[in-house]
Amino acid sequence: MQISRRADYGVRVILDLATNCRQERASTHDIAARQNIPSPFLAKIISQLALAGLITTYRGAGGGVSLSRPSSQISLLNVIEALEGPIVLNRCVTDPEGCPQNDRCPVHDVWIRAQAELVALLAATTFDQLARSNRYPPT
């Protein structure tokens, strides 16, 4: 399992906005340059994040994007699910009846536990925590 480039870029966009202390809005051009994201791909990501209610977009002169709510209220899970949909490690986790091995599979409980732990970790990790990390320089 690997996080897609879209999800990785989406996380970088939200983190960039969470650390953008000097101004409320950031231009997509500046985000693309700071995060090394191709502009056409960034536009699609911005659109999906806006549809999910994580960012607000502003048109025209002085436009740009900003977080729709405080970074303390946006988790890694929010961003990943906005761009990729729900996290599902194996189909048997969400549809046990769809798996012919369900009744005798020794791995089923491991998949359920692993997914629950991953989702809980991502949900508990907010962008204010990440922005305050000494590993991420402010913009």
pLDDT at 75: 98
pLDDT at 65: 94
What is the tens place of the pLDDT at every residue in 14-57? 999 999 755 678 999 999 999 999 999 999 999 999 999 999 99
What is the tens place of the pLDDT at every residue in 71-104? 999 999 999 999 999 988 877 777 767 777 767 7
Q: Which residue type does 120 have?
A: A
Q: Which residue type does 70 have?
A: P
Rounded to a whole number of angstroms, the CA Rg of the chain reads: 18
| Bridge pairing between strands 64-67 and 55-58 | antiparallel
pLDDT at 93: 75
Question: What does the block give as tokens for 71?
Answer: 């970074």
Judge whether 28 and 18 are in contact, CB under 8 Å: no
Contacts (Cβ under 8 Å, ≥6 apart) of 38: 32
Stated pTM of the model:
0.86
Top CATH class, 5-86+126-132: mainly alpha
Which of the 8 DSSP states describes residue 114? Answer: H
Q: What is the length of the chain?
A: 139
What residues pair up with 56 in beta bridges, in sequence order? 66
Taking every pair of Cα atoms in the chain, the longest distance, rounded to a whole number of angstroms, is 62
Return the higher-pLDDT residue of 61 and 136.
61
pLDDT at 137: 57
pLDDT at 68: 95
Measured CA to CA, the distance from residue 17 to residue 105 in angstroms comes to 44
pLDDT band at 109 (very low <50, low <70, confident <90, very high): confident
Return the higher-pLDDT residue of 107 and 75.
75
Judge whether 50 and 10 are in contact, CB under 8 Å: no
